[in-house]
Amino acid sequence: MKKTSTPVLPARTAPGDGPLLAVDDLHVEFATRQGVVKAVNGVSYSLNPGETLAVLGESGSGKSVTAQAIMGILDMPPARIPRGEIRFRGTDLLRLPEDQRAQVRGQRISMIFQDALSALNPVFTVGWQISEMFRVHRGMSRRDATKKAVELMDRVRIPAARQRVNDYPHQFSGGMRQRIMIAMAIALDPEVLIADEPTTALDVTVQAQIMELLAELQRESNMGLILITHDLGVVADVADKIAVMYGGRIVENALVHDIYRSPAHPYTKGLLDSIPRVDLKGQELYAIKGMPPNLLDMPQGCAFHPRCPYRQDDCVTDAPPLYEVGPTRGSACHYWREVFDDSRR
Amino acid sequence: MSDTIAPSARRRKHGGGTAKPPKAASLWSDAWHDLRRRPLFIGSAVLIAVILVIAVFPGLFTSVDPLNAASCELAKARQPMSGAHFFGTDNLGCDVYARTLYGARNSIVVGLSTTIVTAVVGGLFGLVAGFKGGAVDTLFSRITEIFFAIPSILGALLILAVFRTGNVWTVTLALAVLAWPMTFRIMRAAVITAKSQDYVVAARALGASAPRIMFRHILPNAVAPVIVVSTINLGTFIAAEAGLSFLGVGLRSPDISWGLMISDARERFLEAPAPLLFPALFLSLTVLAFIMLGDAVRDALDPKLR
C-alpha cells in the first residue's frame, strides 16, 4: 500500500455529499501453499445512511471477505489487498493508519456474525461483554456500563434483561444470543452495521424476528446496513438493493424489486428459479448445474460460463464488464438482454 | 456446551445432588461444582491442607525444635520408635518426627515457588508467542527446544554446581529454568486454538485492542490446561527437590529436607529403617496428593478427556 498523504477520519456529523460507504474496485488475494487465491476480484458497491444493501452469494463468492476487508480484520498476510479503495465518508480506510482504523472498528462500523455462540466469549457473562464496549471505548465505570448493558438488552428485546445480565452465552437460546451480539454491535451507535449471515444458524421463525429487529434498529438510528446472506428469502422484505456475487465479482446489482421481477444475469435467474414454489409442487426442482468455481483456478472469461445456459463462444474468452441495464442496475453478462427478456416473460 | 440444557444435565448425572439451581454457570463455577463431588479431589485436598498446616506451623505438632542443634543427643542415635521419639532418632540422635515435620516447609516452598515461576514465565512467553506467531513464535519455540534437549537432572546438577550453594531459591531457579518450556508449549498451543475462535474475530471487529484481546479474550480461554499441568508439576517439583538434595546438590545441612534426610539415613538403613522410611512416606504422600489434585482439576476443567 502506498502512503502519499495521511488521510484523516471525517467526523460523525460530516456533511457527506457522497455515499456513506463506498467499496471501489476492491481486490483481495490470499497467498496459500497451492498458489494465490483470488477471493475478491474488483468488487464495487456503495451504501447510504438508512439504506440496506444485501450482498448475496454462495460460499466462496467473496462476500464475507469483502466485509472483513471493510472491517480491517483480515489476517495480512496471508491476505493481501493489491488494489481498491474502501471509502468511509470519503476517506479511504485502506490508507488510514492503524490507530485511526481502530477508531472506526466497533464505533463507526460494526459487525455481527453468523454463529453468535462461537462469536461470544464463553468465559464471560453477556452483561460483562456488552458493557465492555462502554468501559473500553467510553471509559465508563463498571456500574454505569452494566446499566447501559441492561438498557441495550431491553432494546434488542431480551426478556427479563435485568435478571439475565449475569448469565453466560451458553445459557441463552440461539436467537437470544444473536440479539446479544447485535446489542454489542450497536452499543456505540455505529454508522454502518455489517451483518454476516446473521440468521443462517437460526430457525425460520427466529430468523424473521431478528430481521425485524435489525430493520427496526436501523430505522431508529438511520445507520447503513450491509446484509450478507445466501438466503434469497431473507433479503426480499428488508433490503433496498441487492448485489449478487459470484466468483469474487459482482455479477448483478439492482434495486430489490427489480431483481425479483426480472433478473438480468443467468446466475441470479438460476437462483430465483431454484426457490421451491407451491404452484410447481410435484415437479422436479430447478438447480444450477455444475460446481462453484475453484478460486485457485478460475475459468477464463466469464467465471459463470461453465454452468451457464446462455453461454456463447465469447463468454469463454472475454470476461464481461458490468453492463448498464438501467439507471440503478447493472449485469455482468454479455447476453443480459436475452436473460432479461426471458425472465420478464 | 452448545446447548442450554447443559447445567441441568450435569446435575442429573451426579445423582440428585443439591436442589439449588446453578446460577452462574461459568467454566470455573461449573468446575468447582463438579470438583466438590469428587472423592479424588476431596481426598487430595484434605491431604494437601494437612501438609500445608504442617509446613506453616510445624511447632503445633511437636515441642522439639530440630533447627536447634541442642535438640540432638549423639548418645541416643538410631533409637527405635518410642513414646518420646515417635519415629525414632537418626544417626546424630535427632528426633525424626520433628525433622520430618519441619522438612515439609522447604518441600512446599520449592514446589510452590517453582510452579509459580514456570507458570508465569512459560505462560507469558507462550501467550505472546502463540498470539504474535511468525518470527516471535519461531524464536521462542527454538529456544524451548534447546531446553528440551537438556536432560533435566544433568541440567539441574550443572546449574546448582555453578551456584555452589544449595538453598531453596537456587533449587527453585534450577528447576524453573528447566521446566518453563513445558508450560510454554501448553500455553502456546492453547492460545493458538483460542486465537482462531470466532469470538476473537468478533472482539476485533468490535474494536478491542490487541492487548485487550490477548489478556481478556484469549488468556481466560487458554489458561485451563496450564493450571492443570502446573498442579501436577507441583508434585514432581517436590520430588525433584528431594532428588537433588539426595544427590547432595540441593538443600544442605543444617537446612532440613526430606531428600537430605533420606540421603543421610541410607547407609544405616538396615539397622535403623525409620529415619529413611518416614521422610520417604511424607514425600510420597505429598507428591501423590498434588498429582491427584491435578488429575481431579483436569477432569473438572475438561470433561471431554474423561
Q: Is the pLDDT of residue B119 over 90?
A: yes
Return residues 10-29 of B near A (CB < 8 Å): 24-28
Please report the pLDDT score of residue A345 as a whole number. 63
Say if B111 falls within a structural domain: yes
Please report the pLDDT score of residue A72 as a whole number. 84
Burial label, B225 (beta-carbon count in 10 A; 0-12, 13-18, 19+): middle
How many CB atoms within 10 Å of residue B301? 19
Mean pLDDT, all residues of chain A: 82
Which tens digits make up the pLDDT trace of A222-269? 888 898 888 777 777 788 888 989 888 888 888 888 888 888 888 888
Say if B51 falls within a structural domain: no
A206 touches chain B (CB under 8 A): no
Q: Please report the domains of chain A, with CATH numbers, ordered by start residue.
A: 21-239 (3.40.50.300), 249-344 (no CATH)
Q: Is the pLDDT of residue B18 over 50?
A: no
B149 touches chain A (CB under 8 A): no
Q: Is the pLDDT of residue B304 over 70?
A: no
Which tens digits make up the pLDDT trace of B129-187? 999 888 999 999 999 999 888 888 888 888 888 888 878 899 999 999 999 999 999 99
Please report the pLDDT score of residue B5 as a whole number. 40
Q: Is the pLDDT of residue A15 over 90?
A: no
Q: How far is A245 from chain B (nearest CA, A)?
A: 23
Q: Is the pLDDT of residue B295 over 60?
A: yes
Q: What average pLDDT does the segment A169-179 reach?
A: 84
- Give the nearest partner residue to B220 out of A123, A170, A173, using CB atoms: A123
Please state the ipTM of this predicted complex.
0.71
Rg (CA), chain B: 23
Say if B283 falls within a structural domain: yes
- What are the grid coordinates assigned to B70, written together? 541442642
Say if B215 falls within a structural domain: yes
Please report the pLDDT score of residue A181 as a whole number. 87
Chain B CA closest to residue A172:
B4
Which tens digits make up the pLDDT trace of A197-216? 888 777 777 888 888 888 88
Percentage of chain A modeled with pLDDT above 70? 94
Range of the domain at B99: 84-305
The rounded distance, in Å, linking the Cα atoms of A232 and B154 is 68
Our count of domains for chain B comes to 1
Give the confidence band of A14 by pLDDT, cuts at 50, 70, 90: low
A110 touches chain B (CB under 8 A): yes
Ramachandran region of residue B94, left (φ > 0), alpha (ψ -120 to 50) or beta? beta
- Give the nearest partner residue to A119 out of B198, B212, B221, using CB atoms: B198
8 Å CB contact of A106 and B198: no
Alpha helices in chain B (DSSP H): 6-13, 27-35, 39-56, 96-132, 134-149, 152-163, 168-195, 198-205, 210-212, 219-247, 258-265, 274-301
8 Å CB contact of B205 and A106: yes
Q: How far is B167 from chain A (nearest CA, A)?
A: 41
CATH number at residue B178: 1.10.3720.10
- Give the nearest partner residue to A102 out of B27, B207, B220, using CB atoms: B207
8 Å CB contact of B4 and A105: no
Q: What average pLDDT does the segment B250-270 reach?
A: 85
